[in-house]
Amino acid sequence: MSVPYFHLLRLSARSIGRALRCMDVIQLISLSFCSKTCKSAVTATNLECTSIIVTVMRTMLKINLHFRVVTCELVLNYENLDELPHSVKIWENPGNPLIGYIMEAEDFSTIAFANTSLSFTSKNYMLHIMDIMNKSTIDVDDAGDDVPLIVLQDLFKNICITRLICISEISPNNMQKYASVHARDCMIPMSTDLEIHSSAYPTFCSSFDSLDIRTPLHSPNDLLNFNSSTVTITDSRLTEKDCNLFLKHWLLGISSQNLKLLTVCFLIDDKNALLDGIFYTQQPEPRAMGFESRRFDYRTIRGSFDVQNVDGVEATLYLYDFSFDFVVLE
């Protein structure tokens, strides 16, 4: 039995709004591709997407949409990234995707476009999703594929990347390529090798607002090349002597001149070794200082040791049992 078409857009604006609120995310995203009017109607629903994460591969681009209770993924398949995709699929997962879960064919729902003349490039899809989700920024997940630099630069041109997630253990040049697209923040997650990959070193020298390193650092030289404003090292194999070397280089004005906040997590057993050869002024324990950054609305730093480099820039260092904060004063 054939079912007659239901002309949704012929309803009143109020009725359209009610109808759209009864649809799930997959239906709304699919509807938004039908026409400009449909796109505007879906955009007006103000979908509460918390983040958009884009993963670029040689023959596939994934756009992950994270909501409070579901995660959706738009998958584009193509021969080359700069060509039109030959297939587009979408799936929805209630809750966060399970680690190691392999998607089966029945998990996907193929998008069927009402407008057959629609010819979207991968960038068109990405911009369309950003529009209907009312998002001006995205996160980028480096999948390790050796995608040409010029293709990446064209894909992300004039798009604000909030965070770059670097996992390039396969393609050594990817981190440097992604750093060239001017991401605001960068995160290097835990490596399967349990050590920082050599491809990460060019990223250390890039200027990010925030650099979050979750792969263990072993060499003191890793601390000397940071050019980001805020650096957090949550898992390191560094020692007090390694951090002492960083302090001495900073005091001489020969490293990390753009650094405003450095947090290094490791077990501090010997405070004397960390401060050896450092001229400092010890402050009383109760003193608290306000530190403002984009990552923290207001953070209290209990300044125990004040230092000053050769250029007259002051900083304070507070030692915890399992970490230390190095804060440049403004």
Q: How many CB atoms lie within 10 A of CB 46?
A: 9
Structural domain of 14: 1-46
Per-residue pLDDT tens digits for 286-313:
666 655 554 444 455 555 789 999 999 9
225 lies in a domain? yes
Q: Are strands 185-188 and 160-165 parallel, antiparallel or unpaired?
A: parallel
Q: How many CB atoms lie within 10 A of CB 93?
A: 15
Tokens standing for residue 153: 């630069």
User: Angle 204-207-211 (CA atoms, 0-180°, nearest 5)?
Assistant: 55
| Domain limit, last residue, from 46, 61, 76 | 46
In this prediction, what percent of the chain has a pLDDT beyond 70?
74
Cβ burial of 96 (10 Å; 0-12, 13-18, 19+) is exposed
236 lies in a domain? yes
Chain centroid to Cα 86, Å, comes to 28
Report how far residue 307's alpha carbon sits from residue 283's, in angstroms, rounded to the nearest whole number: 11
290 lies in a domain? yes
Report how far residue 309's alpha carbon sits from residue 301's, in angstroms, rounded to the nearest whole number: 20
306 lies in a domain? yes
216 lies in a domain? yes
255 lies in a domain? yes
pLDDT at 204 over 80: no
271 lies in a domain? yes
190 lies in a domain? no
Report how far residue 276's alpha carbon sits from residue 184's, in angstroms, rounded to the nearest whole number: 35
Least confident of 187-191, 194-198, 275-279, 310-314: 194-198
Per-residue pLDDT tens digits for 46-78:
988 999 999 888 888 999 999 887 888 888 888
pLDDT of residue 127: 94
Average pLDDT over residues 247-261: 89
Per-residue pLDDT tens digits for 14-34:
787 788 888 888 888 888 888
- What is the count of structural domains for the chain? 2
Average pLDDT over the chain reads 78
**Rounded to two decimals, what is the model's pTM?**
0.71
